Amino acid sequence: MNSADKISAKALVMIVEDEIKLAELLKDYLQQSGYPTLWVGRGDQVIESLRANPVALVLLDLMLPGKDGIDICREIRQFSNVPIIMTTARIEEIDRLIGLELGADDYICKPYSPREVVARVKAVLRRQQSGEIATEQQRLVLDGETYRASLDGVSLNLTRVEFRLLMTLAARPGKVFARDTLMNGLYDDYRVVSDRTVDTHVKNVRQKAAVISGEDLIRSVYGVGYSLEIPG
Ligand code: CA
């Protein structure tokens, strides 16, 4: 198994794991379930590989040679919202990891059954890909398949880029997203966009939402970015 293994745009799962046997086992189970995989055995090779491949989800081990999972998770979140499932050999580590607010989507404790890992991978991808992100109050509903968004049952008529922006914010209401993070989620290609581009799209989304509810749903945090705030 090497990093040139099966590269595909269809839900490619990156396995970051330094125990080769475990990586092999995960690879077998994931591939049997239809997920192509990409294996990375060193912590300091993750970012480069992630930037070079269309990865749909990262299974990230905590203890790795080169760089640990905590630092890797933080670095990934600076430029990507790719789902991350962290794995650790110590159950007491999980509370600490959650407390660090690394932005991981799920945590699995070792030893795990490969079946459980596959189930979690499916669940996280389903959550992300079905795109049905409804906020707690269900006031805002986003459908990632049709790019339709509605607020209080009224269509928001967003452009594709505006939809993506709102989708990113709605993934974690209340969390402040840096402009850089938002910028990276706007387009499929790697075009360079400026801070102002993000500001412009935010302004448009705000106006469209305000027409419906009269509220300002997006909070600006000076010098940092934006968060979604939906009153109940
Ligand atoms: Ca390890």
Which domains, and CATH codes, for the chain?
3-128 (3.40.50.2300), 132-228 (1.10.10.10)
Q: Rounded to the nearest whole angstrom, what is the distance from the C-alpha of residue 36 to the centroid of ligand 1? A: 21
> Is residue 86 within 8 Å of residue 107, measured between CB atoms?
yes
Q: Rounded to the nearest whole angstrom, what is the distance from the C-alpha of residue 81 to the centroid of ligand 1? A: 23
> What is the per-residue pLDDT across 88-105, written as a single tens digit (0 to 9) for each?
887 778 777 877 778 888
Q: Rounded to the nearest whole angstrom, what is the distance from the C-alpha of residue 185 to the centroid of ligand 1? A: 30
Q: Rounded to the nearest whole angstrom, what is the distance from the C-alpha of residue 11 to the centroid of ligand 1? A: 23
Q: Is 215 exposed, middle or buried (0-12, 13-18, 19+ CB in 10 A)?
A: middle
Q: Rounded to the nearest whole angstrom, what is the distance from the C-alpha of residue 63 to the centroid of ligand 1? A: 4
Residues 120-133: what's their mean pLDDT? 74
Q: Tell me what pLDDT residue 5 has.
A: 36
Residues 9-16: what's their mean pLDDT? 82
> What is the per-residue pLDDT across 39-91, written as a single tens digit (0 to 9) for each?
999 999 999 999 888 889 999 999 999 999 999 999 999 888 899 999 988 77
pLDDT at 106 over 50: yes
The pTM of the full predicted model, rounded to 2 decimals, is: 0.56
User: Cα separation of 161 and 9, whole Å?
Assistant: 21
Q: Rounded to the nearest whole angstrom, what is the distance from the C-alpha of residue 190 to the centroid of ligand 1? A: 32
Q: Rounded to the nearest whole angstrom, what is the distance from the C-alpha of residue 128 to the centroid of ligand 1? A: 26
Amino acid occupying residue 123: A
Q: Tell me what pLDDT residue 4 has.
A: 35
Q: Rounded to the nearest whole angstrom, what is the distance from the C-alpha of residue 15 to the centroid of ligand 1? A: 11
Confidence of residue 190 (pLDDT cuts 50, 70, 90): low
Q: Is 96 exposed, middle or buried (0-12, 13-18, 19+ CB in 10 A)?
A: exposed
Q: Tell me what pLDDT residue 225 has.
A: 86
Q: Rounded to the nearest whole angstrom, what is the distance from the C-alpha of residue 61 to the centroid of ligand 1? A: 6
Residues 110-118: what's their mean pLDDT? 92
User: Cα separation of 89 and 68, whole Å?
Assistant: 13
Which residues line ion ligand 1, judged by CB < 5 Å?
18, 61, 63
Ramachandran bin of 78, using left for φ above 0, alpha for ψ from -120 to 50, beta for the remaining angles: alpha
Q: Which of 69-78, 121-130, 137-146, 218-227 is modeled with the greatest confidence? A: 69-78
